[in-house]
Amino acid sequence: MRILVVEDEHKVAKALKEGLEGEHYDVDVAHTGEDAFFRVNTEQFDMILLDLNLPGRSGMEILKTIRKRGVETPVLLLTARDAVEDRVAGLNSGADDYLVKPFAFTELLARIRALLRRGRAAETLHLCIADLDMDLVTRKLTRSGKAIEVTTREFEILEFMLRHQGQVIMRDMMAREVWKESARGTPINNVIDVHIARLRRKIDQDQTVKLIHTVRGVGFMLREGEP
Gap between the Cα atoms of 127 and 162, Å rounded? 6
Q: Is residue 65 a contact point for Ca ion (CB under 5 A)? A: no
- Based on the shown chain and the rule CB under 5 A, indicate whether residue 8 belongs to the binding site for Ca ion: yes
Toward Ca ion, which CB reaches closer, 57 or 200? 57
Q: Supply the minimum distance, in Å, between the C-beta of residue 123 and Ca ion.
A: 31
Contacts of 141 (CB under 8 A, 6+ apart): 132, 133, 134, 135, 147, 148, 150, 155, 158
Q: By CB under 5 A, is residue 86 in contact with Ca ion?
A: no
The piece of 5-13, 32-40, 199-207, 211-219 that touches Ca ion (CB under 5 A) is: 5-13
Instruction: Tell me if 58 contacts Ca ion by CB under 5 A.
Output: no
Compute the least distance from the CB of residue 55 to Ca ion, in Å: 8
Q: Which of residues 105-144 bind Ca ion (CB under 5 A)?
A: none
Count of residues that interact with Ca ion, criterion CB under 5 A:
3
Residue 51 engages Ca ion in binding (rule: CB under 5 A): yes
| Helices 10-22 and 105-121, packing angle to 10 deg | 60
**Cα–Cα nearest to 74, from 54, 57, 56, 90:** 90
- Stated as kind and residue range, the H or E segment containing 219 is strand 219-222
Distance CA 191, CA 135 (A): 25
Q: Is 154 in the site for Ca ion (CB under 5 A)?
A: no
- Residues of this chain that interact with Ca ion (CB under 5 A) are 8, 51, 53
